[in-house]
Structure 1
């Protein structure tokens, strides 16, 4: 019997790339996002290219009840989740005071509350079956000093990284692997959606950018190897290490300069 991976935020970017990698590796998919048409197109692609069964479930994870409704739908349809990939996410870079509080609440629900809720709902079944994979798509931002402009994004990802590490330790020996994937700048629609495409494209050279396919393959390999955390690319690993060697005030000053280059504060 083929195993099944549920991927949130699967309609584009890293989520869609992860779906393609999992299908290539012989998994069936449950694709979750808000945009049904994109999910249906991806599902057809995965079936044609890899023979995968791909179920489409639309959900808006900004709704706090969405994880529970998803779990009920899975149970009603007899769908078993062997891998949970918490990938859905977005950011707002106009500044804390200039961002609608409802948008900040949605960020917290989508990137923090939903991954924790889905993990709590789905991991018990994995433990009972003696097999499971949980891949939480965090960010290099979660390993860096705080920034202004996208004030909540980094802290949310830091939480996800720490929570993943705790789960990784707690589930040792159960057959359930837990990994936090921490990509740096990746070529997706992410920066188009938050309105920073022009700034980031002009601020950073091509060598700093990775493809979604590369990030997805690194993430898949890491969770299969049961690594607690993975940062794709040696340059990103170097960037993650440098702040640990600097005094806090200097690290914050450097990151503050980064934010001003992006004209976001």
Structure 2
């Protein structure tokens, strides 16, 4: 059943094939919101779509957002099918392990396209219609890494996620008068494929269980935060407390702590 506060129309979820993106899609389906799912892996998208179709209408449009032409092509296909997007979930993302100069520039360029370029362009292309609805939502999946000083081996990841936070803050101010809620979701360590892709699963598995969040809980926190008009959402009491403490400590102390612990939880080769 769609809540009275939930916009009528489709929710477009990028990076919906697994992890937080798939969890967000499931939560919106539970709420009766029809979905447009996009990611690179068509088989994974179809598997999720088949799971959710008994609840809502689900459209699958595969796209590789690392391709600079993908955002325009995706929106063109959505418009060709006359699908009204009222909720945009910018979730697609990944991490590039290692220090900045240990990776070739094309690797970084594609990363920036997915994490910043595609998010910015999709939002720009879809925002006018979302504004016209008078009750739209934009949910940008950032990271707790955006809220603390950058760590060794996380050069572009933390920076890109910080961009999403500032982007969300400005968009929220610009569009509040049209009933559009813009939210940056900032989860900490979350059980998903993310650490398998970056090759850090063995390292992060040494973290205590209390440091981990479940994808379903993160998705619920993000969607409920967006419905309430919260601009920044930090799921989990542990991370909420850590965020509060980090904001009041001298930055040099936090940087020193990040430097001591970076090599324990991420590759810095």
- Compute the RMSD of aligned alpha carbons: 1.2
Cα deviation, residue 246, structure 1: 2.1
Q: 2:240 aligns with which of 233, 237, 240?
A: 237
CA deviation vs aligned residue, 1:124-172 (integer Å, no higher than 9, x gap)? 0111221211000000000010111121100110011001000011111
Q: Is 1:260 matched with 2:266?
A: no
TM-score (normalised: structure 2): 0.95
Alignment match, 2:15: 9
Alignment match, 2:231: 228
Q: 1:135 aligns with which of 136, 139, 148?
A: 139
- Give the number of aligned pairs: 262
Q: Is 1:45 matched with 2:51?
A: yes
Show structure 1 runs of 5+ residues with no match: none
Alignment match, 1:155: 159
Alignment match, 2:5: none
Q: Is 1:187 matched with 2:191?
A: yes
**Deviates most, 90-99 or 27-36:** 90-99
Q: 1:22 aligns with which of 18, 28, 33?
A: 28
Aligned 8 A contact 2:140 2:183 in 1 = yes
Cα deviation, residue 244, structure 1: 2.0
TM-score (normalised: structure 1): 0.96
Distance in 2 separating the partners of 1:153 and 1:107: 9
Distance in 1 separating the partners of 2:230 and 2:252: 31
Q: 2:180 aligns with which of 176, 180, 196?
A: 176
Aligned 8 A contact 2:146 2:158 in 1 = yes
Q: 1:116 aligns with which of 97, 116, 120?
A: 120
Cα deviation, residue 189, structure 1: 0.5
Q: Is 1:212 matched with 2:215?
A: yes
CA deviation vs aligned residue, 1:6-61 (integer Å, no higher than 9, x gap)? 0000000000000000000010000000000000010010013x2x1110011111
Would the alpha carbon gap of residues 263 and 185 (structure 1) be closer, same or farther in structure 2, given more than 3 Å must change? closer
Distance in 1 separating the partners of 2:237 and 2:45: 32
Q: Is 1:61 matched with 2:65?
A: yes
Cα deviation, residue 241, structure 1: 2.2
Would the alpha carbon gap of residues 185 and 88 (structure 1) be closer, same or farther in structure 2, given more than 3 Å must change? same
CA deviation vs aligned residue, 1:91-135 (integer Å, no higher than 9, x gap)? 012211112211211111111111111111101011122121100
Alignment match, 2:103: 99
- Give the ranges of 4+ consecutive aligned residues of structure 1 lying more than 3 Å apart after TM superposition: none
Show structure 2 runs of 5+ residues with no match: 3-7
Would the alpha carbon gap of residues 54 and 96 (structure 1) be closer, same or farther in structure 2, given more than 3 Å must change? same
